Amino acid sequence: MNWLTTLWGEEWSEYNAWELHWAPEAWGGTFAFLAVLIVLSLWFFWTSLSRIRSPWKKLFLYALRVVTLFLVALTVLQPQLEFKKIQPLKNAIAVLLDDSKSMGIKTFPSEKPRGHWVRRAMENNRSYFEKLKQSYEVDFFFVSDQIDSVPLANAVTAYQESAVNTDLHQVFLDLTKHYEGQSLQGVLLFSDGADLTQDVPGISPEFTQTLTRLNGPVHTFQAGDNQGFKDLAIEKADAADFGFIHQPLNIEVTLSARGIGKKNIPLVLKEGDKILVSKTVSLKKADDQYTAELQFTPASLGKRIYTLSVPVFAGEAVEVNNRWSFEVKVVRDRVRVLHLNGRPSWDSRFLRETLANNPKVDLLSFFILRTLTDDVGATTSELSLIPFPSNLLFSDYLNSFDLVIFHNFKFSPFIDKKNLSNIRNYVEQGGAFLMIGGDLSFQGGGYDRSPVEEILPVRIQSDSKKFLLGDLKMKVPLKLSQHPLLRLESDPRQNVKAWESLPPIQGVNIGLTPAKGAHVLGMVREQGKDIPALVARQVKEGRTLAIATDTSWNWNFLQVGKGGSGRYYQKFWENVIAWMTREPETDPVQVTTDKEKYRENETVRIHFNVSGQDYIPLPGVAVELVMQTLPRGQELVRQTLKTDEQGEGHFEFHPGREGFYSAQVSLTASGEVLSGETRFIVFSPQIEYQKPLVNTDLLQALSKVTGGSHHVLGEGTRFDELSFPSPKVEIKSSSRMVSLWDSWWTYGLIVGLLSVEWWVRRKSGLS
């Protein structure tokens, strides 16, 4: 064939075989039609030559036509010549080692995990595999719901029962894809058959179909058995991802108990070491699945981690499934606001309407409608007035409020002075207190030198003039305009404009100076002096605010009269509620993670954003980052980091193991300790323990469908008797296709032959 390759400019030494290819569509109907057409045309042509006397000429013309028709047929059949190099292919055997978590379940009575039998079988049969490799390509894979190739040398040492899911159908789909174009002649599967996807007894029709595409048999090796299997497990706990503080939360728990017998077991819910609720579940011999409902009431806000547990009995196959931890984001259902009004006024009317219409607010308000000197001209029974429940509010239920507002309210004679220290304590322990101005506030309310003054953001100068009347424009400092209280618009410039657009207030309380650590967020300017009108302060765990006017309603009603809207008034009060009740987004130190849940060994990216109490970012400051496990608080990382020019920073954490973690960022700024925290979960699905039993049926069905054999692994299991087909398979390593018809000389010859024929016919007197 050397001459043939030379004809097309190829070296024969590069190939060792050739093959002629025809256009596949030319076969069948087309070819038959073409054959009939050629025979008919030759017959008609022969009859048309009857007028030619010379038999040689007749024969010459007929030969021309035959050659022409042959060339036409060639173009239709599109013949191609393939030069190729072919090599013999080694048949392959795949060895699949199930490394899912269920392989870690103990078998009895040896109390060795199922994976132990796989390791033992691999070690005992090393020589078998070495021998097998002489005739076959032997590939090893760890399988679960995917296949991971592993060299024989590492097959035992790297084997770990850690994969989180078993899906043998997917494994065989991946295997088929992996060996596409190769000669897979057999599979050895080492598994417990605890496939989470196969619900029907045996195997599903789709799985069967996939198996039939394999050439060779699947020999299955069962690791472990169900003899003496004993396990108590929390299979599932259904609880909402979030709950409301002080509102009951339900959890539905599914338990499974196999081989435990008749027992009463406690199901306990804990937060940290504190038991929240427990319930006794009665196990019976006949049942292996139970449901129990628990109810508990979250007492703290934020991401809380709760753990359910049942006792671990001796000889249990799996111990880790006897507990179940879950996270609940506890939020406020509604913000409870106590709004005390010294007297009915337009300011209190508009604020009450705003609070009452806010779906997030649970409002309790009191108006002092009459004083001791008022002459109502009626008996008590003719009045709708009720006694002010002072003691109830300020000694018994004060802590149930998220925010207490004194709106132009003078405490005497309604609140006993000794109860003022309760308000101070309430704030220091995390409460919020707002004093709104007026003639009954600050000095007018007698709060100077009282426990309330200690927590107020202003100090009261009792000997000064008390009020400044007139149209006064509230100004907010530009650098503080992004304070959560002042954020009427998200864009800083628009925000400043929004404040400038508000109508003036018509009076402020004066004689107030900012307390230590307080921030003046709004002021009015009078005779060249700035008078604080809006002052905020962090007091230990709580927050306080002073609004030194009772005419903020101008920002609503008067603004409408000027053609605007009360939008900014509403927004301002939303800000006040959010900031005072310490909504997480109002914390000066914000710590976030890129996700809330991570898989094992995934990298956790922590981002923090640090501002001072005035909410001005702190660039280039040192912060301390502490990573801890929850709920035990084991410290994993303690590192000092610096914020960038935006007051931000990043940290990457590799938790590795499953569990709950917290990231805390803290710093000291202006003598105050600021901190922020976020929590996240690293999980490793426990789904493998939902079907922990060895599935002999599945493994047997697998081998039966493929013509393989089923074995149970034991101490001395040998593979010597296994056999695999060994067909001779060749593989084409290189080739070149050459067209025999698609060339200039084919078409030129057709035209030339027809021209000669035409010329001879003309000379012979034919048309």
Partner 1 sequence: MRFYFIILAVCLQAGIWFPRPVFALGEASKVVIPQIQYRGGNYNPRPHAAESLLAELAKRTSIEVKRMPLFLKPGDGQLFKYPFLYMGGDGAFEPLNEKELKTLRNHLSYGGFLLIDGNSSKPNSPFDASVRRMIERLFPGIPLERLQRDHSIFRSFYLLNQVVGRVVNKPYLEGITTKGRTVLVYSANDLGGAWSKSKLGHWDFDMIGGGDRQRKLSLRLGVNIVLYALTLDYKKDMVHLPIILERLRRVNPK
Q: Which of residues 334-353 bind partner 1 (CB under 8 A)?
A: 342-350, 352-353
Phi-psi region of 582 (alpha: psi -120 to 50; beta: other; left: phi over 0): left
Q: Does 199 bind partner 1 (CB under 8 A)?
A: no
> What Cα–Cα distance (Å) separates residue 719 from each residue in 126, 133, 349, 724?
10, 14, 89, 12
Task: Tell me the closest approach of the beta carbon of residue 402 to partner 1, in angstroms.
Answer: 17
Q: Report H helices in 529-609.
A: 557-561, 567-580
Do the beta carbons of residue 503 and residue 555 sit within 8 Å?
yes
- Which of these, 369, 368, 374, lies nearest to 412 by C-alpha position? 368
Task: Tell me the closest approach of the beta carbon of residue 585 to partner 1, in angstroms.
Answer: 29
Q: Burial letters for 146-163: b for 16+ Cβ neighbours within 10 Å, e otherwise?
A: ebeebeeeebbeebebbb
Cα angle 594, 599, 600; round to 5: 120
Q: Does 706 bind partner 1 (CB under 8 A)?
A: no
Task: Tell me the closest approach of the beta carbon of residue 440 to partner 1, in angstroms.
Answer: 7
Question: Residue from 91, 166, 322, 509 that binds partner 1 (CB under 8 A)?
Answer: 509
Q: Which of residues 385-414 bind partner 1 (CB under 8 A)?
A: 385-386, 389, 408, 410, 412-413
Q: Which CB atom, from 438 or from 542, has the smaller least distance to partner 1?
A: 438
Q: Which CB atom, from 198 or from 450, has the smaller least distance to partner 1?
A: 450
Task: Tell me the closest approach of the beta carbon of residue 561 to partner 1, in angstroms.
Answer: 3
Q: Which of residues 409-438 bind partner 1 (CB under 8 A)?
A: 410, 412-413, 437-438
Where does this chain touch partner 1 (CB under 8 A) — which range of 128-136, 196-204, 499-507, 745-753?
A: 499-507
Check whether the bond before 631 is cis (ω within 30° of 0): yes
Q: Which of residues 540-559 bind partner 1 (CB under 8 A)?
A: 549-551, 553-554, 556-558
Q: Which CB atom, from 399 or from 723, has the smaller least distance to partner 1?
A: 399
Tell me the per-residue interface mask from 462 to 481 with partner 1, x by CB under 8 A, - otherwise.
-----x-x------------
Q: Which CB atom, from 554 or from 664, has the smaller least distance to partner 1?
A: 554
Q: Does 378 bind partner 1 (CB under 8 A)?
A: yes
Task: Tell me the closest approach of the beta carbon of residue 232 to partner 1, in angstroms.
Answer: 48
Q: Does 384 bind partner 1 (CB under 8 A)?
A: yes
Q: Does 443 bind partner 1 (CB under 8 A)?
A: no
State which amino acid sits at residue 696.
T
Question: Residue from 383, 478, 737, 751 that binds partner 1 (CB under 8 A)?
Answer: 383
- Which of these, 227, 226, 222, lies nearest to 700 by C-alpha position? 222
Query: Residue count at the site for partner 1 (CB under 8 A)?
Result: 63
Q: Does 146 bind partner 1 (CB under 8 A)?
A: no
Where does this chain touch partner 1 (CB under 8 A) — which range of 273-281, 361-369, 711-719, 759-767?
A: 361-369
Answer positive or negative: Cα dihedral of 205, 210, 212, 216. Answer: negative
Q: Which of residues 558-577 bind partner 1 (CB under 8 A)?
A: 558, 560-562, 566
Q: Does 359 bind partner 1 (CB under 8 A)?
A: no
Task: Tell me the closest approach of the beta carbon of residue 666 to partner 1, in angstroms.
Answer: 42
Strands of 137-143's sheet in order across: 147-150, 137-143, 92-98, 184-191, 218-222, 710-712
| Structure-derived torsion over alpha carbons of residues 653, 654, 655, 656, reported in degrees to the nearest 10 | 180
Do the beta carbons of residue 588 and residue 615 sit within 8 Å?
yes
C-alpha to C-alpha distance for 688 and 705, rounded to whole angstroms: 26
DSSP letter (8 states) at residue 312? P
Where does this chain touch partner 1 (CB under 8 A) — which range of 135-143, 157-165, 365-373, 523-531?
A: 365-373
Task: Tell me the closest approach of the beta carbon of residue 336 to partner 1, in angstroms.
Answer: 13
Question: Residue from 225, 271, 439, 677 that binds partner 1 (CB under 8 A)?
Answer: 439
C-alpha to C-alpha distance for 514 and 536, rounded to whole angstroms: 9
Q: Does 16 bind partner 1 (CB under 8 A)?
A: no
Q: Which CB atom, from 20 or from 372, has the smaller least distance to partner 1?
A: 372
Q: Which H or E run contains 190?
A: strand 184-191
Q: Which CB atom, from 37 or from 364, has the smaller least distance to partner 1?
A: 364
C-alpha to C-alpha distance for 643 and 190, rounded to whole angstroms: 53
Answer positive or negative: Cα dihedral of 607, 612, 616, 620. Answer: negative
Question: Residue from 381, 490, 527, 640 that binds partner 1 (CB under 8 A)?
Answer: 381
C-alpha to C-alpha distance for 569 and 347, rounded to whole angstroms: 12
C-alpha to C-alpha distance for 466 and 444, rounded to whole angstroms: 8
Look at strands 542-547 and 432-436 and give their pairing: parallel
Residues that bind partner 1 (CB under 8 A): 342-350, 352-353, 356, 364-378, 381-386, 389, 408, 410, 412-413, 437-440, 444, 446, 467, 469, 505-509, 549-551, 553-554, 556-558, 560-562, 566
